[in-house]
Amino acid sequence: MNPDNQAMLSSFTLPNGVELKNRVVMAPMTNFSSNSDGTVSDAEVNYYARRSSGVSMVITACTYVTPNGKGFHGQFSGDKDEMIPSLTRLASAIKEQGAKAILQIFHGGRSCPPELVPNGEIVSASDVPAVRGGESAEESALKPRPLTEQEIEEIIKAFGETTRRAIEAGYDGVEIHGANGYLIQQFFSPHSNRREDQYGGSLEKRMTFPLAIVEEVQRVVKEHANPAFIVGYRFSPEEPETPGITMGDTLTLVDTLADKGLDYLHVSLGEFFSTARRGVEDTSKTRIEYLLETIQNRVPLIGVGSIYTADDARRAFKSGVPLLAIGREIIIDPDWVQKIAEGKENEIVTEIDKTKQNELVIPDPLWNAIIHTPGWFPGV
């Protein structure tokens, strides 16, 4: 092995003793391609199989835990036991290619399109609308209904139930999706959470919902799985709105999560080397540096964001992150890890080739989203 790639290609042992064959994981990416009954589609299964032999772990697109948490057209369902065979198909396709299969579990909250949820009623921590397409949906039909305490408890339980289904379906683990502005983040955010009960108010109280989900998922794992089952947690470090989550808020959350016996934390970033916006003293320091400093090796951190070349990855690992996720890049080049491992990094493709949808095994809805969204993927 090229010694420069040691940090990327050497194995890594998670806190629960599970060994990952290397340090590169596939980032969770929604593909809009599941069947209308909530089952995974053949095209989607093939897309995952094509990308599961190089990386050590594949984190799936997020699955919703309750019907009112469905956040995307063509999202697969994890909200009922009838879905276990569908969930099993996806886990098996990933594991057969040699990667660990991690199911990302999610509730979209106020970000759900009303046409996807029962009675078109979107729910959240409070009645603050999401900012959609750059504009706030102030006073519009998209104003969410605040969840009652009983409903909150039901959603916490639903995260546990979907975890049980993941266990029964043969997944190696679950990732709690606390990032990207969805329900869990909506509870942590002072923008979307204006509650005055046990779930809102102070920073500590805004952590109640995320921490209750961690606890419930871990309870279910203890009851239904063996200790090799992986539980990770994903978070977004900052929000642009005021009020909104600051880097300082996130360091408090991460400091708490680092002692919860999780197997990894996973930051959600568009740029690995991005610097903190506010809420910390030194805004020239990268968010990753702040996170690693706070975590102090108590739990592994997965970094992510615009890593396209082997050089990008080597630089990222120099920061000290033990694990790195690649998203868009593994869609663009499914053989990214293998090319590095085989000394062929010059052959890595870093822009989407618009003539190669079939060769790249990309389902139509994802392909259409990519090629019709200028600036999202390199080459478009």
Ligand X SMILES: Cc1cc2nc3c(=O)[nH]c(=O)nc-3n(C[C@H](O)[C@H](O)[C@H](O)COP(=O)(O)O)c2cc1C
Q: Considering the complex, what minimum distance in angstroms separates the CB of residue 372 from ligand X?
A: 12
Tell which positions 47-66 bind ligand X, by CB under 6 A.
61-62
User: Which residue in the shown chain puts its C-beta closest to ligand X?
Assistant: 327
SS3 at position 326: strand
Q: Is 326 a binder of ligand X (CB under 6 A)?
A: yes
d(C-alpha 316, C-alpha 340), whole Å: 15
SS3 at position 27: coil
d(C-alpha 252, C-alpha 351), whole Å: 37
Tell which positions 177-216 bind ligand X, by CB under 6 A.
177, 179-180
SS3 at position 78: coil
Q: Is 100 a binder of ligand X (CB under 6 A)?
A: no
Smaller CB separation from ligand X, 144 or 305: 305
Contacting residue, 304, 316, 340, 360, with ligand X by CB under 6 A: 304
Q: How many residues bind ligand X (CB under 6 A)?
A: 21
Q: Which are the contacts of 364, defined by CB distance < 8 A and separation ≥ 6? A: 33, 43
Cα–Cα nearest to 33, from 325, 360, 367: 367
Active site residue 308: no
Q: Is 267 a binder of ligand X (CB under 6 A)?
A: no
Q: Considering the complex, what minimum distance in angstroms separates the CB of residue 127 from ligand X?
A: 25
Q: Is 29 a binder of ligand X (CB under 6 A)?
A: yes
Pattern 111-150, ligand X, x by CB under 6 A = ----------------------------------------
Give DSSP secondary structure letters for 180-225.
TTSHHHHHH-TTT----STTSSSHHHHTHHHHHHHHHHHHHHHHHS
Backbone angles phi, psi at 143, to 5 degrees: -65, 120
Quick one: which segment of 23-31, 89-97, 190-198, 293-301 binds ligand X (CB under 6 A)? 23-31
Among candidate residues 47, 48, 171, 182, the one labeled active-site is 182
Quick one: which segment of 42-50, 136-144, 204-212, 320-328 binds ligand X (CB under 6 A)? 320-328
Q: Is 221 a binder of ligand X (CB under 6 A)?
A: no
d(C-alpha 246, C-alpha 228), whole Å: 34
Quick one: which segment of 183-191, 194-202, 221-229, 325-333 binds ligand X (CB under 6 A)? 325-333
Rg (Cα) of the chain, in Å, rounded? 20
SS3 at position 276: coil
Q: Considering the complex, what minimum distance in angstroms separates the CB of residue 31 from ligand X?
A: 7
d(C-alpha 245, C-alpha 92), whole Å: 37
**Catalytic center residues:** 182
Q: Residues interacting with ligand X, by CB under 6 A?
A: 27-30, 61-62, 104, 177, 179-180, 234, 268, 270, 304-307, 326-329
